[in-house]
Amino acid sequence: MDEITRLATEKYLLVTTFRRDGRAVPTPVWAARDGDSLVVWSASDAGKVKRIRRDGAVRLAPCTARGAPTGPDVAGHAELLDADESERARGLIASRYGLLGRVTMLGSRLRRGPTGTVGIRLTVPTPPDTPPDQPT
């Protein structure tokens, strides 16, 4: 099972971004699979969005709703999505989390407006193919 598949099966995802001084800032989020990546959403003015805009390096791990890791983490890359892709991300998350997801997205849209949140795409680099061990 690849890392995206492993992480996509979890209810919560711990996305760890990094401040300029290198300190880690972990945040539990909802995530939905979108092809070979995961998508999450956040308030446009959130600290994690500012940190991702500066540097897309993240660590990803399954976690509880309160952010306690429940499995190993993996290095990943985050990128902010444009308006259309953000709307798609919100739709995928609303669909995955059922009624609670739809109500949460509606509340967010009413509170912040359509541009008050942004989608974030998370990818995990695939390890390079390694040649089989050669006999010596």
- pLDDT tens per residue, range 7-21: 999 999 999 999 999
pTM of the model as a whole: 0.85
Over residues 14-49, the pLDDT tens digits come to: 999 999 999 999 999 999 999 999 999 999 999 999
- Mean pLDDT for 88-116 is 80
- In the predicted structure, residue 132 carries a pLDDT above the cut 90: no
The CATH class for the domain spanning 3-121 reads mainly beta
- pLDDT-derived band of residue 75, with 50, 70 and 90 as boundaries? very high
Relative orientation angle of helices 98-112 and 83-96, to the nearest 10 degrees: 140
Residue 64 — left, alpha, or beta (φ > 0 → left; ψ -120 to 50 → alpha)?
A: beta
Handedness of CA 92, 14, 61, 54 (dihedral sign): positive
CB-based contacts of 57, cutoff 8 Å, min separation 6: 18, 75, 76, 77, 78
Sketch the domain layout of the chain as residue ranges. 3-121
Helices (DSSP H) in 55-97: which residue ranges?
A: 83-96
- pLDDT-derived band of residue 99, with 50, 70 and 90 as boundaries? confident
- Which among 18, 22, 9 is positioned nearest to 62, based on CA atoms? 9
- Mean pLDDT for 117-135 is 76
- In the predicted structure, residue 112 carries a pLDDT above the cut 80: no
